[in-house]
Structure 1
Amino acid sequence: MAFTAGFDFTEAEAALALSQSIYGAPAIPVPTPDPVALGWSKVDGLSPSGPTLLDNLWQIWRSDAAPNRYALVVRGTVDTDASILADLLFPLIDARLDLELDIGGTTLDIPFHLARDETGSAVVAGTHLGFTLGLLLMLLTTDRPLLASLARLSLLPDTELLVTGHSQGASIATLATSFLRHASGPFAPFRTLSAKTYVLAPAKPGNDHYAADYAGIAGMAGFGWTIASTQGWVPQVPFTLQGPGDLNTPNPLRAYAGETMPDSDPRVAAMALTAATAAEAAHVQALAHAQASIAALKAGLASIRLAPDALPGGGGGATPVPGTALSPVLDTLLSRVQLSLNYAPAGALVPLFARPGGNPQDPKDYFWQHHLGNYWIYLQEQYGGM
């Protein structure tokens, strides 16, 4: 079987329950459903025993009622330096990358494609560096890398995959959906998975071109749903600064080839210069932080190994590959940083019309409107009858 297009409350309920469960803590202000009570069982053999260097954790669950239906659940931000670091790696990088891993003199090609090819476009799809790096480490590292789990699922007949997550996990789950939809080369079998995505309270995962691509591959068809509270602040970040370089060409300032329009209105040019100056200053600061953070992350690569079954063709044989093999890949990511901070939401929006206010028990709880307990209240009230 395959998923049916369209928003389904039962599927959204399961996504919310799974997204809360992976935190290992009760929801507030009210309990969320227990995924086990909803008929889901965690598949330990396809789930890692620990997180990545950026403290990303994910799990694979299976439906008891529909044995061919699985769920990929990505944990959101937790209170650790590594997890918070992923949120703060702001720069956008190209969403379509062809990466190479050097394994003992053998070069392995990794088509890491999160958007369609836009050759010739002045603006191309871009994704959040921290979330993109989080997904890459999930795919390649830990004792049960996500690439290996996806490969095993793609070999099973008629596999359905519910993709979900909350907060940072929601943003990474969105990118994971793009990876599945654009899978090519050794990962092409991933496209056989019937995938449907429900994410909750995601930060903006990429720019407007990425959002358009995601709408084309998932949202518009009814297979990529973004559930967001109207009072939550996380779906409003990262801060968006749009400059002249973020506009498609030709436009009143630049011709298609990039040269300045000779008859540009000086008032428009002056306004554009102001915007460009502000955006450039913010980008320089974000890039400097990213470069320092990637350098520190490289040092941590020496402490991990890449599992051979996560690599295309089982590269490396039976011997685990040193994590330092990823160092050039991180350099490639930094080399594809875009001169842009023009973020946009992605996915077909399911708005939760929330009641304004803070935590009556804790006025310093700035995540009050972000808690999945509140999401569960509003989801039941507004969509429970569907």
Structure 2
Amino acid sequence: MFCFLLLFSGFGFTQSLQPGFQTQEYADALAINFGNYDSVVTSEGRIPAYKWHYRSKVTGLDNRWWMWLSTDGKRGIITIRGTVATTSSWLANVYAVMQPAIGDIKINDSVTFHYQLADRPDAAIHTGWLLSLGSMAGDIEKKIREQYAKGVKEYIITGHSQGGGIAYLLRSYIYYRTKQGALPSDIIYKTYCSAAPKPGNLFYAYDYDYINKGGWAFTVVNAADWVPETPISIQQFSDLNPLNPFVTIKSALSQQRYFVRVYANMVYNKLNKSTRKAAKRYRRYLGDKVGKQVKKKLSQLDGINAISTMNYMRAGTPIVLMPDMEYYTRFPDDPTKGAGIWTHHTFEAYYLLLKKDYGTVTQGHSLLVE
């Protein structure tokens, strides 16, 4: 037996998916998310590793997804479209109250979305992106099964911006559908959520990171980009684990001296009241009021069951792209220049920082042969 290293530089060869952040995988996913894949491959002199296979119809709140297949026919990329310039698409973003991570929502008379996105009852997710996922999930499952019959047993799931937010939920959905026996158990999934906002509460994030443990799900952010800062988080005492001392502080204070008890209760009540009041306003404007507008777009929608939590958290292994002075010279913090408030959210900004922080993205593939 002997070993030698065969090097392939841009021949469209696709290795099996492995855990860990891979620069070329994310670069390809980023370019595909922006519709720049062919031009990027051409400019870098690479033979394409993927070809476009399927584009869905527009559904839900102006949602759409694509499937790309590797040229060797062994891997698929599922990419979710981000926000487009329509009222429906923006409603998906601002419908930011949370739903339980397990439930049923009627999208229309022909689609009732039965979903499980986490394994714990206190997990919750963004309502607008859940509706978006519900409008696409059946079609995505159908295509995965069709390609499985043709030998495709590994997928990269990706999306940029809103697409990244929905990609989180899609990965969770596929995981639990697989556990339920609805999808083949020998398919490998790897997720790159690019410039993604926060998808759900802390307990959803815990579940997401757990089911993707070992380096199978990444969230890639430009540290200057404001989109990953959204939605705004409000942590209430009701969002804490049961044994957190703040949850049981009332009973603990009952053992204290009178003046200590009075003062501590006053402070506790002020803190608790302010966060509860903020969360209530959040639900009123980004729940009740936005929900009425969503209902005009999805007239048959039923089953929305908003819960009180607004404790939005990031999920996935973070890959932080860090701007430097050279970057800010090209992409200034000036809303009157370039792409304005979207300057740090663009393909060019992310791609430049990826190359700066992780080196060339045109490396050849390597294969160890025995």
Per the shorter chain, which TM-score range?
0.7 to 0.9
**C-alpha separation between the residues in 2 aligned to 1:85 and 1:102?**
17
Q: Classify the secondary structure of the residue corresponding to 2:353.
A: helix
| Structure 2 CA distance for partners of 1:263 and 1:200, relative to 1, 3 Å | same
| Structure 2 CA distance for partners of 1:34 and 1:76, relative to 1, 3 Å | farther
**C-alpha separation between the residues in 2 aligned to 1:199 and 1:293?**
28
TM-score by length of 1: 0.77
Equivalent pair of 2:91/2:290 in contact (CA under 8 Å): no
Select which of 229, 232, 249 maps to 1:236. Answer: 229
Q: Which residue of 2 aligns with 1:365?
A: 340
1:35-184 correspondence runs (5 A)? 37-44=47-54, 47-48=55-56, 50-64=57-71, 66-98=72-104, 111-116=114-119, 118-119=120-121, 124-140=122-138, 145-157=139-151, 159-183=153-177
Q: CA deviation at 1:159?
A: 1.1
| Structure 2 CA distance for partners of 1:178 and 1:190, relative to 1, 3 Å | farther
Equivalent pair of 1:17/1:34 in contact (CA under 8 Å): no
Structure 1 residue runs without a partner (length 5+): 300-326
| Structure 2 CA distance for partners of 1:11 and 1:134, relative to 1, 3 Å | same
Deviating beyond 6 angstroms after TM superposition, the runs of 4 or more aligned structure 1 residues are 100-104
Q: CA deviation at 1:7?
A: 0.9
Q: CA deviation at 1:261?
A: 3.1
Equivalent pair of 1:20/1:372 in contact (CA under 8 Å): yes
Q: CA deviation at 1:103?
A: 7.7
| Structure 2 CA distance for partners of 1:15 and 1:380, relative to 1, 3 Å | same
Q: Which residue of 2 aligns with 1:263?
A: 253
Q: Classify the secondary structure of the residue corresponding to 1:251.
A: coil
Q: CA deviation at 1:33?
A: 4.5
Aligned-partner residue type, residue 237 of structure 1: T
Aligned-partner residue type, residue 230 of structure 2: V
Select which of 213, 218, 224 maps to 1:225. Answer: 218
Computed over aligned residues only, the root mean square deviation of the Cα atoms, in angstroms, reads: 3.0
Q: Classify the secondary structure of the residue corresponding to 2:78.
A: strand
Equivalent pair of 1:61/1:70 in contact (CA under 8 Å): yes
Equivalent pair of 2:60/2:131 in contact (CA under 8 Å): no
| Structure 2 CA distance for partners of 1:184 and 1:12, relative to 1, 3 Å | closer
Q: Classify the secondary structure of the residue corresponding to 2:298.
A: helix
Q: CA deviation at 1:384?
A: 2.3
Aligned-partner residue type, residue 319 of structure 2: V
Q: Which residue of 2 aligns with 1:211?
A: 205
Aligned-partner residue type, residue 49 of structure 2: G
Q: CA deviation at 1:87?
A: 0.6
Equivalent pair of 2:141/2:183 in contact (CA under 8 Å): no
Q: Deviations over 1:314-370 (max 9, x none)?
A: xxxxxxxxxxxxx3xx422x12x1102110111100000024423698267100000
Q: CA deviation at 1:298?
A: 2.8
Q: CA deviation at 1:80?
A: 1.0
Q: Classify the secondary structure of the residue corresponding to 2:51.
A: strand
TM-score by length of 2: 0.80
Instruction: Note if 1:21 corresponds to 2:35.
Output: yes
Aligned-partner residue type, residue 293 of structure 2: S
Q: Deviations over 1:252-277 (max 9, x none)?
A: 4545xxx9536263123332222222
**C-alpha separation between the residues in 2 aligned to 1:350 and 1:168?**
18
Q: Percent identity?
A: 26
Aligned-partner residue type, residue 307 of structure 2: Q
| Structure 2 CA distance for partners of 1:70 and 1:129, relative to 1, 3 Å | same
Aligned-partner residue type, residue 253 of structure 2: D
Q: CA deviation at 1:139?
A: 1.9
**C-alpha separation between the residues in 1 aligned to 2:28 and 2:195?**
15
Q: CA deviation at 1:150?
A: 2.3
Instruction: Note if 1:3 corresponds to 2:3.
Output: no
**C-alpha separation between the residues in 2 aligned to 1:211 and 1:176?**
14
**C-alpha separation between the residues in 2 aligned to 1:170 and 1:222?**
17
Q: Classify the secondary structure of the residue corresponding to 1:51.
A: coil
Aligned-partner residue type, residue 19 of structure 1: N
Q: Classify the secondary structure of the residue corresponding to 2:90.
A: helix
Q: Deviations over 1:268-303 (max 9, x none)?
A: 33322222222222222222124303321333xxxx
Aligned-partner residue type, residue 291 of structure 1: G
Q: Which residue of 2 aligns with 1:318?
A: none
| Structure 2 CA distance for partners of 1:187 and 1:134, relative to 1, 3 Å | farther
Equivalent pair of 1:150/1:190 in contact (CA under 8 Å): no
**C-alpha separation between the residues in 2 aligned to 1:84 and 1:99?**
20
**C-alpha separation between the residues in 2 aligned to 1:102 and 1:288?**
20
Equivalent pair of 2:108/2:298 in contact (CA under 8 Å): no
| Structure 2 CA distance for partners of 1:133 and 1:272, relative to 1, 3 Å | same
Q: Classify the secondary structure of the residue corresponding to 1:188.
A: coil
Larger Rg: 2
Equivalent pair of 2:164/2:197 in contact (CA under 8 Å): yes
Q: Deviations over 1:121-142 (max 9, x none)?
A: xxx11111111111111124xx
Equivalent pair of 1:32/1:372 in contact (CA under 8 Å): no
Instruction: Return 278-287 or 373-382, whichever deviates more.
Output: 278-287
**C-alpha separation between the residues in 2 aligned to 1:63 and 1:377?**
25
